[in-house]
Amino acid sequence: MPNPQPQPQLGSQVHYAQGRTSPPDAARISPESCTQLSLFKDLMREYRKIDDGITMRLNRTAAQFRERDRTPAAGPSSASAGPAGPLPDDACAFFWTELVANWKGRLQVVQYCVNVVDSSREAKRSVLALEPKDLALGEDQDARTRRRLQAEVYADEVKRNQIRDEMTVERIIRQRSFDAFRARCKFWTPPRTGAANDEARKWWDDVQQGK
């Protein structure tokens, strides 16, 4: 018996699915993505698409839930959302979960890259701390090696500072996205009880406090 074919997505569902981005995953980031600053910045730019296009994504979420509510199997919705009107509570909860997943993933990527650069810097500092005889190098070669390592340590410190600066950028982006989200979900807040809601609520409180 042939396998049933998947049901085609409806129009707004297709547009919504095409606009989604997977949450960043530090486990899939290579150290090279951290040590090459241009690559790191490209990576962060890609992962920030959900925030950069938040108004469009909120509209897509509203369209997705409106279309769902028009199907016979759907129950009554808590509200109806126009193109720029308030979103129903279930749409707000859905979008907040996606937003938090991306914020959390990006923060983990930044922290991972800070650790990568720190490890590289500390390894070079350990070599610089060795006595020349321990390096088994000639005097001239030892001097060249030390100058090179000192330059690389300085370069790592510059990279580390630039990567850490992304945490400040993240705070600014989160606040901007939060303001846009609140404009469409004025009366929705994450539940305060239940283990599954703890993280969503913590991000909510942190953004309100400018963290």
What per-residue confidence (pLDDT) applies to 69? 62
pLDDT of residue 86: 80
Determine the pLDDT at residue 3.
43
Please indicate, yes or no, if residue 78 is contained in any of the structural domains: yes
Least confident of 69-83, 98-112, 175-189: 69-83
Give the pLDDT band (50/70/90) at residue 127: confident
In terms of Cα–Cα distance, which of 86, 98, 14 is closest to 53? 98
Q: Give the integer Cα–Cα distance in Å for 96 and 98.
A: 5
Q: 67 or 163: whose pLDDT is higher?
A: 163
The verdict on residue 31 lying in a domain is no
Residue range 175-184: average pLDDT? 94
Is residue 101's pLDDT more than 80? yes
pLDDT, one tens digit per residue, over 15-44 is: 334 344 566 777 678 999 999 999 999 999
pTM of the complete model: 0.73
Range scoring the smallest mean pLDDT among 2-16, 27-41, 85-99: 2-16
Distance CA 94, CA 84 (A): 17
Range of the domain at 70: 12-17+46-208
Q: Does residue 35 sit within a domain?
A: no
Tell me if 41 is assigned to some domain: no
Residue 63 lies in a domain: yes
Q: Per the structure block, which two tokens stand in for 57?
A: 């994504």
pLDDT of residue 168: 94
Quote the number of domains for the chain: 1
Torsions phi, psi for 176 (to 5 deg): -65, -45
